[in-house]
C-alpha cells in the first residue's frame, strides 16, 4: 500500500507536489506514487518535467485504488464528477483534496492508501526534509552549452536572479484575472532593497517574454544578462536561478523554487507582498519567513 499524489501544472507546482509526496510518505512511513495521468489526458498547458531531476520517480498504475486512476484517465465524465467531490470526502474516504492555501497539518494524520490532490504551496509540508530535497532536485544531465555559459557568468559575479512571468499571465485573461503580474514598481523596489546590501550586483533576468525583458531592463545602472532559454529548458532555468547569490521572484512557484533551492546561507530573497492579482485569499504560508515581502 502507498499514498498517491496527483501531479499537474507547471514545473513549480510539480516540484511542490513531489516534495509534498516525499514528506507525507516519510511521516506515514509508507511509499508514495505520482499520478501523472493528467498530462496525457485533459491537461496540456505544461509538460511533465520531473524526469529531468534525480527524484524518486514512482509512477502510479491504472489499477491503483481499485481502478480510480484508470477511470479518471479513460472517462472524462468521471473526471468532471470526481472534481465535484472536493468537499465530499465521505463519498470517497481515501480521497484527500486540498482545502486551503494554508498549511494543513492534518495531512500527516491521513491513512496509508490516501490519494492527495492539491498544490501544497508551502515549505511547511517538507522543510524538515530540505537536505534530501536539495540532493534530489538536481539535474540528471549536464546543462546545455548555452546554460553552462550563463552558469559561468553567475559563478563569476555577484549574481541576482530576477524572474518575470509575463507571457501567459498577460495573454490569458482568465489567468491574468486570478494571478496578475508583478509591476515594474515591484521590481524597482526589490532591486533597491537588494542594492542596499549588495553594492555590485549583476542581474540575470529570467522571463517567458525575452523581448519584453530586454526592453524593460536595458536601462538599469548595473550589469544585466537576459537569459534566453526556451520553455523546454525550464528545469535548467530553475537550476541557474538557484546558483545566484540572491533572488527576486515573481508571484510564481517557478521562481519560488529557484530561490528555495539556493544554498547560499546569506541569500536575500525578495517576494511580492500580494501573491494573487485580484484575489483576497490569504497566502501567508507560501512565502518562507526569512524572505522579504515587497
pLDDT, tens only, 267-281 = 999 999 988 755 555
**What residue segments make up the domains of the chain, in order of their start?**
2-134, 142-293
Evaluate if residue 87 carries a pLDDT over 50.
no
**237 closest CA partner among 221, 251, 225, 223:** 225
Give whole-number Cα distances, 243 to 8, 105, 210, 238, in Å: 26, 31, 20, 9
The C-alpha cell that represents 108 in the structure block: 500527516
DSSP notation for 193-236: HHHHH-SSEEEEEEES-HHHHHHHHTT-SS-EEEE---GGGHHH
The sign of the dihedral angle between the CA atoms of 240, 241, 246, 248 is positive
Does the domain at 142-293 match CATH 1.20.1290.10? Answer given as no
Question: Cα 270 to chain center, whole Å?
Answer: 16
Q: Grade residue 93 by pLDDT with cuts at 50, 70 and 90.
A: low
Q: What is the pTM of this model?
A: 0.89
- The residue assigned the cell 501573491 is 275
Residues listed for the chain? 294
Residue 141 or 102, more confident = 141
Q: Grade residue 79 by pLDDT with cuts at 50, 70 and 90.
A: low
Amino acid at each position: 500500500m502507498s499514498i498517491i499524489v496527483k501531479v499537474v501544472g507547471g514545473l513549480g507546482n510539480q516540484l511542490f507536489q513531489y516534495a509534498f509526496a516525499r514528506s507525507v510518505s516519510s511521516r506515514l512511513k509508507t511509499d508514495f506514487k505520482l499520478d501523472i495521468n493528467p498530462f496525457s489526458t485533459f491537461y496540456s498547458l505544461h509538460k511533465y518535467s520531473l524526469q529531468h531531476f534525480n527524484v524518486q520517480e514512482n509512477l502510479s498504475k491504472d489499477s491503483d485504488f481499485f481502478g480510480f486512476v484508470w477511470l479518471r484517465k479513460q472517462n472524462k465524465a468521471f473526471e468532471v464528477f470526481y472534481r465535484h467531490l472536493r468537499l465530499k470526502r465521505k463519498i470517497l474516504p481515501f480521497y484527500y483534496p486540498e482545502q486551503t492555501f494554508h498549511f494543513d497539518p492534518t495531512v500527516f494524520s491521513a491513512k496509508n492508501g490516501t490519494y492527495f490532490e492539491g498544490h501544497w504551496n508551502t515549505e511547511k509540508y517538507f522543510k524538515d526534509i530540505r537536505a534530501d530535497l536539495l540532493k534530489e532536485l538536481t539535474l540528471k544531465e549536464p546543462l546545455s552549452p548555452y546554460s553552462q555559459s550563463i552558469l559561468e557568468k553567475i559563478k563569476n559575479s555577484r549574481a541576482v536572479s530576477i524572474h518575470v512571468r509575463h507571457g501567459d499571465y498577460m495573454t490569458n485573461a482568465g489567468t491574468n484575472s486570478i494571478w496578475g503580474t508583478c509591476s515594474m514598481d515591484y521590481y524597482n523596489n526589490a532591486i533597491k532593497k537588494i542594492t542596499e546590501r549588495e553594492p555590485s550586483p549583476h542581474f540575470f533576468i529570467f522571463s517567458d517574454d525575452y523581448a519584453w525583458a530586454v526592453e524593460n531592463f536595458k536601462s538599469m545602472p548595473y550589469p544585466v544578462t537576459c537569459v534566453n532559454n526556451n520553455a523546454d529548458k525550464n528545469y535548467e532555468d530553475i537550476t541557474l536561478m538557484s546558483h545566484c547569490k540572491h533572488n527576486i521572484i515573481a508571484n510564481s512557484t517557478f521562481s519560488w523554487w529557484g530561490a528555495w533551492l539556493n544554498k547560499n546561507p546569506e541569500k536575500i530573497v525578495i517576494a511580492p507582498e500580494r501573491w494573487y492579482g485580484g484575489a483576497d485569499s490569504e497566502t501567508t504560508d507560501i512565502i518562507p519567513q526569512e524572505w522579504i515581502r515587497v
